[in-house]
Structure 1
């Protein structure tokens, strides 16, 4: 899951990037409200599945950011994460378009559970099991099976496989794959995508993922 995080506290931000990353999230962290709001311009390149938003931000306060997102038609779930704990503050945030509210200090495990719950709500009307050529992937359970046999996949391999399955019939460029698997500014080897593709082919067969010359990669034809 790719997360847009707006938090100006360096200690909390560092902790969330590391902690959420440990749970399989890819986090893009912004400390300034205006910069985070402007990140919407990148949505076509790097879509987010959920946003975590602090209210007390420099440049542009959190509620203004939230209002701007909703005016622009961005319906991705937003969880407000703030020290403001009055009923009025919570109601105000929810009325302005937030989907959930968590008060600081908080437990990381609760934040993770809430983010996954928001993702599940958003996926209610979407396909929950992805299938191709004998492979079945359950995004919620984070598990894949090939011919009914459970597969051992790394978090990145699972994310890449889900990306390819959700774009069946459409080739994806290396840049598109990188933007979905890695956070902004995250250092990665120039051949990172090729390495993941190679490992998946070893587990699924060379024909499962085909190379589209000059474009990138897509799923191969089902047998």
Structure 2
């Protein structure tokens, strides 16, 4: 599955160039240009790495990083800045950033730093995710519920993983399309609903569950605590 990267950078020249390069490398990239929206994206979405500028409108990268770490987010953060002092680097690392790169930088170096961060897989982003007795392993591409194996297609697996990693949160059709279909899906289509139906028939109905909730007019939520109505 393609790795997802969030870029929070207010310079469109830099963000566009980095995004194009990363997409060419096969990454799924989301870009936003201010700190407040970056915090929203980082909190509500699922990303493997966050590239975070320090000098941002609305909210500084320092504050975004501080809030993410205070909330318990384990996502690796690579901070960017036009500054070049040991004090700035120390501040970023003290707040929980995993790496630091000073502008101007080489895309080759940025890519190498990102790949290094991706090799450091935190426990929360391990290959296995479990909610109740439902278990997914993205390394072996296996799904089971109560020990019973469930066969999923690649799209179904990606959709279920996204829902499970966002357990308890409402995720919109657009968020699902961006993660599962790399934003290439027309979110006005009914493809998301169709795949939600596929999943329900495989992971819910045979086990008398209703874990995948529809929030009308908003999106979906993986609840994991609801038994199916009889």
> Normalization by structure 1: what TM-score?
0.62
Partner residue, 1:202: none
**Which structure would you say has the larger RCO, counting Cα contacts within 8 Å and 6 or more residues apart?**
1
What secondary structure sits across from 1:115 in the alignment?
helix
Among 137, 140, 148, the alignment partner of 1:130 is 140
* Alignment of 1:82 onto 2:81: yes
Partner residue, 2:198: 211
Partner residue, 1:95: 94
**CA pair 217-2 structure 1, distance change in 2 beyond 3 A:** farther
CA RMSD of aligned residues (A): 3.9
**CA pair 126-33 structure 1, distance change in 2 beyond 3 A:** closer
What secondary structure sits across from 1:52 in the alignment?
strand
1:153-178 CA-partner distances (Å, limit 9, x unpaired): xxxx98x48737968x9xxx994752
Instruction: Check whether the contact 1:3–1:26 (CA below 8 A) recurs between aligned residues.
Output: yes
1:107-132 CA-partner distances (Å, limit 9, x unpaired): 22221221121121115893483245
Q: Distance in 2 between matches of 1:216 and 1:83?
A: 52
**How far 1:211 moved relative to its partner?**
3.3
Partner residue, 1:22: 24
Q: Distance in 2 between matches of 1:174 and 1:16?
A: 26
Partner residue, 2:219: none
Partner residue, 1:55: 54
**How far 1:96 moved relative to its partner?**
0.8
Partner residue, 1:137: none
> Normalization by structure 2: what TM-score?
0.61
Q: Distance in 2 between matches of 1:94 and 1:166?
A: 30
